[in-house]
Amino acid sequence: MSTKVCVTIAESNPRKIVRDIESALTDSNYVEIRLDFLKPSQIPFCLTLSKKHLNRCICTVRPTTEGGKFQGTEKERISILKLISEFEPHLLDVEYNTLRKNQGLQKYLKSTGTNILVSWHDFVKTPNEQTLRLMLQRMSKFSNNIKIVTTAKTISDTIRVLSLYKNHTKKINLVSFAMGDYGRMSRILCTKLGSPYTYVSLGKPIAPGQFSLKEMKSILALEDKN
């Protein structure tokens, strides 16, 4: 596939995660490991088990305030983010609000040379274009890998979030699309506009509107024929 895909894996068993990683990477470019689906005590074991694959993995530890399932304290989560950086994943997904509030984490990740994917999600709406562009500008201070995801309730919402690709600097690796039924097509269109990859699931969607790897492969195969 010319379009790159990243398979999101969200499991509560470390060994199952590793099996899914190995399965997913046979047909995809990257894997996103949602480590927040594990108990905090299981995360170091999971990282160790999956170490040889981490150069193709995006590691995410999403807190409940950002739509995730992490069960520990914020102090624990920050410690885990630091631990993940030592395993040198392809990307470490850290929320914009986390980086903005935690200078200590910023400095630590800079000292380890960690490739950060700074992310921001709006689970309720899609803000106006000015707000989205301001967010992109603020996020670019932390990394040139940026993920902006909103919730689309109309086609106009989807067009607005995709408009971020217009005139954006090529120095920024921007992943921007919308969740929900109205945003579904943006998960495909984003890759045509400059996104380095799009997120898919192995089976059931992890996020609203997400395609499965099988569905995405079928869609892209049809495009290649045309």
Q: Which residues contact 112 (CB under 8 A, 6 or more apart)?
A: 85, 86
> Does residue 121 carry a catalytic annotation?
yes
> Does residue 147 carry a catalytic annotation?
yes
Average pLDDT for consecutive 10-residue bins of the chain (226 residues)? 87 97 95 97 97 98 95 95 97 98 96 96 96 96 97 97 86 95 95 94 91 91 63
Q: What's the number of domains the chain is made of?
A: 1
* CATH number, domain containing residue 122: 3.20.20.70
155-162 and 129-139 helices, crossing angle to 10°: 40
pLDDT at 193: 93
Q: Residue 26 in contact with residue 86, Cβ under 8 Å?
A: no
> Both ends of the chain: CA-CA distance in Å?
14
Q: Which of 16, 75, 141, 147 is catalytic?
A: 147
> Which range marks the domain in which residue 18 is found?
5-225
Q: Which of 39, 75, 101, 121 is catalytic?
A: 121
pLDDT at 71: 87
Q: What is the reported pTM?
A: 0.94
